[in-house]
Each structure stands twice: as C-alpha cells, then as structure tokens.
A and B are shown apart, each in its own frame.
Chain A
Amino acid sequence: MKIKEVVALLDAKVVAGHAYLESEVEYCFSSDLMSDVLTVETDNLMLLTGLANLQTIRTSEMSDITKIIFVRKKKATDEMIQLAAENDIILIECDYSMFKTSGLLYSAGLKPVY
C-alpha cells in the first residue's frame, strides 16, 4: 500500500516527509509504549501511536521506522517535525481513534507484525 493511499483512506494530514508519499508500507504496529516498539524486529514498519513527543521520533529512528501516524488528533510539534525531517521520517496526523485507524488499515491489507 502506498503512503498516499493511507493518507486518503484515513482522511489524514502529512506534516513531514511529503517527498515519500509514493513509498510503500507493508506492516503496521499500533502502540503508545515505546518500550514495546523497540522490541519489534520487522522491517518496513509503520507506527500508529497516540504518543506524540520527541521520544516517539527517536524511538522510530533507532528502530528504522520511517512512517509514523499520530492518532486521536495528536499533533507533532515543530521540534518533532524537524527531527523527523533529519531522519527521513514521514509524519501523518489522523483524527481517528487508534482502534478505527488500525481497523481501516488492516481491512485495506496492511499486515500485523505478530
């Protein structure tokens, strides 16, 4: 699934990494706990989270995650957008709940990591 399709499906807004809208995503992981995110070994992973702070971006940087969707109307700060840009990470803001976002993406064919 292309990121631009994800954005359209979720009626979401891209706030960083506009250059990567054509990139593909295969796996998705939903979590507010960064400790859990750091245990996932899957490549080409998209993170769905309601935790919007600098450590969300740092955790993604360390885990080779290049796509993050903030759910529940959480917003990225300027600092987060800057750090994401430095690390070629796409940031997407979505107004839907974690459950609804996960359900829509699962139905559209994105795979769980386990």
Chain B
Amino acid sequence: MMHFEFQVEGGNFTKAGAASSQLKKILKQLNVDPKIVKRIVVALYEAEVNIVAHAYKGDIIIDIDTQKIGIKLIDEGPGIPDIEQAMQLGYSTASPSVREMGFGAGMGLPNIKNNSDELRITSEVNKGTIVELITYLNQ
C-alpha cells in the first residue's frame, strides 16, 4: 500500500500537470502496464487541469495497492451547480485564458470517465468539488 499527496494551485498553468507527471514516474517504476498508466495519468491530468482552470486550490490524494489505484481530488472553488450538465460533451464554463492553453472545450469530464473504471463527483456551490477515481490494475 502506497500513499501520496500533492497540492495544486488554482490559476497556475506553469505547474499544471506536475502531480500527474509524478504519478506517471511512480507507476512506471512499479512496472504497471503502460496502457493502464496512460489511462490513469490522462484522467488525473484532466482532473488536475480542472482544478487549475476552475478552483482556487486543491489537494490530490493517491492510494495504490496491488489491485487498484484510488485518486481523490478535493478543491476549494466555485463548485459545479449541475454535475449532469457538466458531464455532457461540449459543455464548458472555462475562461478564455484556459482555452488559450488548449483546454476548455467541454471534453475533460467525459474523458475522465472514459479513462477510469469508477468515477464519483460531488460538489457544493461556492465551496468546492470532490472527484474520486478508481482504476483497477488487473483488467
């Protein structure tokens, strides 16, 4: 059982992806199948970019055991008023500066869903959002 925690700064696109990059290195060292590594880090990167794009700050908590990888992203931010709407392909509230970075096309949450085995999103408006991802290693 391994446990990692990372902090994410809202609005700082220079550092966006640093946690995902760290996790990728860890998973490679653990000899996880490269296809599974790609699914996990793409999902985490999308979620990490979401914190940078929308929230003030956030924490990423990762737990790895022999069966699965659980990732929890907890942010302080505006929250998501309608999660079902946010999950729809093409729906986005991203700012022009986020779009300039190559994101904000309303594809992030659907792509996170495609790249994880279990996804749970809970949110409170004006407080923040919690995204929980689980990926199984032996599938």
Contact of A35 (CB < 8 Å), options: B14, B21, B41, B111: B111
Which residue from chain A places its CB closest to the CB of B41 in the assembled complex? A62
Tell whether, in the assembled complex, residue A58 and residue B45 are in contact, meaning their CB atoms are under 8 Å apart.
Answer: yes
Chain B interface residue number, banded? 20 to 34
Q: Which residue of B lies closest to A57 (CB)?
A: B17
- Which chain B residues in 40-67 approach chain A with CB under 8 Å? 41-42, 45-46, 49
> Among the listed stretches A16-24, A48-56, A67-75, which one makes contact with chain B, having 4 or more residues with CB under 8 Å of it?
A48-56
Residue of B nearest to A61 (CB): B21
Contact in complex: A39, B38 (CB < 8 Å): no
Nearest to B52 among chain A residues (CB) is A55
Minimal Cβ-Cβ distance residue in A for B38? A64
Report if A62-B42 is in contact (Cβ < 8 Å); known contacts: A36-B107, A53-B101.
yes
Closest CB in chain A relative to B119 CB, distance in Å: 16
> Is A108 interfacial (CB 8 A cutoff)?
no
Tell yes or no: B34 within 8 A of A by CB. Answer: yes
Min Cβ gap A59→B in Å is 7
Interface 1/0 per residue, A1-45 and B, CB below 8 Å:
000000000000000000000000000000011111111010000
Contacts of A53 in B (CB 8 A): 13, 101-102
Q: Does B72 contact A (CB under 8 A)?
A: no
Q: Which residues of A contact B108 (CB under 8 A)?
A: 35
A102 on interface, CB distance cutoff 8 Å: no
Chain B, Cβ-Cβ closest to A56: B102
Q: Which of A53, A58, A61 has the most CB of B within 10 A?
A: A58
Q: How many residues of A sit at the interface, in one of the four size bands?
A: 20 to 34
Interface centre among B41, B42, B102 (most CB of A within 10 A): B102
Q: Is the CB of B16 within 8 A of A55?
A: yes
Write the residues of chain B forming the contact surface with A, with a CB cutoff of 8 angstroms: 13-14, 16-17, 20-21, 24, 34, 38, 41-42, 45-46, 49, 101-105, 107-108, 111, 114
Contacts A/B (CB < 8 Å), 6 sampled: A33-B105, A38-B46, A58-B16, A58-B17, A62-B17, A62-B45
A39-B107, A41-B38, A62-B38 given; 20 more Cβ-contact pairs under 8 Å = A32-B102, A33-B102, A34-B103, A35-B103, A35-B105, A35-B107, A36-B105, A55-B13, A55-B17, A55-B49, A55-B102, A58-B16, A58-B17, A58-B20, A58-B45, A62-B42, A62-B45, A63-B38, A63-B42, A79-B14
